Amino acid sequence: MKISVIGIGKVGATVAFVLAEHGLASEIVLWNRSGMAARANALDIEQACAFTPYRVAIRAGEVADTADSEILVMCASVPTPTQMIDRCELAAGNTALMRELVPQFAALSPNAVIVNVTNPVDAITWHVLQLSGFPWQRVIGTGTLVDSARFRDILSQQVGIHPVDIRAYILGEHGDSQFAALSIATAGGEHIDATPARYKMLEQAKATAFEVLRGKGYTNYAIAMAVCNIVEAVVRDLCATLPVSVRINGFCDISDVCLSLPAVIGRGGVHFTLVPDLNAAEQESFRRSAALVRRTIAAMG
């Protein structure tokens, strides 16, 4: 299994480390505009792997060295302002960056699954889909996977159940219009009541990402684990259900925009998306997310 990580900043480097630590590839190629940063991280991760039971070849490379990758993880981004309050601030710069990078990497790895991390993740995932020419099943944005994990972590502290055993999803946009689908939230088959306090937990979960950003200038650990979840599902053909950003085709009468729904992921990418039974308010929230993402896409041309 060959995986290439595109963009070795704080996020890309952490993603590469986590993938290597979990033994998810036999070869990992790191590409970055600064070859020095890619080489230094490759050497550091290679040495870290001496503490694991896995044999992983990790190297920095040029664009051509990513050829025939089975998974491309897109982490390249323009600099993120420390005081950023809206991921759409990155839309113009990152759309231009994707127009430059995606066609090159997609042409060299025409059978790859692309996992997009670059923000604003829904609009950029849509652009990656268009620029790559890949089937929609092979272009996956991290979407609300990390938001759902943050929400479950906070919720677990109240209900006294481990986050892994809580089935509660944040859906829609990875941004301000995301919503908690509490009407379908369960644990052990028992419904989790949609109380006002639990809706407030969504706001708390949304705020944590920007709290981390303000405190240390970037977020990296949670998103790296989210990427690892997606990659592991593909590599091991887990058929795992994960809330990720994919092209929507008819859900809530929405089509041709990327948003997060629970998707079954295995070898080759998305096997199918599920159709959650959302209530009327949640369906309207999903449509609102779609409108906002469309507006961002349209603004970029």
If phi > 0 it is left, if psi is from -120 to 50 it is alpha, else beta; for residue 253 that is left
What residues have CB less than 8 Å from 185, skipping those under 6 apart? 166, 167, 168, 169, 191, 192, 194
- Could you confirm whether 174 is annotated as catalytic? yes
H-helix or E-strand containing 18? helix 10-21
DSSP code of 253? G
H-helix or E-strand containing 236? none
The active-site residue, picked from 127, 162, 174, 191, is 174
Beta-bridge mates of residue 273: 263
Q: Are 118 and 248 in contact (CB under 8 A)?
A: no
Query: E-assigned strands of the chain?
Result: 2-6, 27-31, 57-60, 71-74, 113-116, 139-141, 166-167, 170-171, 179-180, 186-187, 190-191, 240-249, 255-266, 269-273
Report the catalytic residues: 174
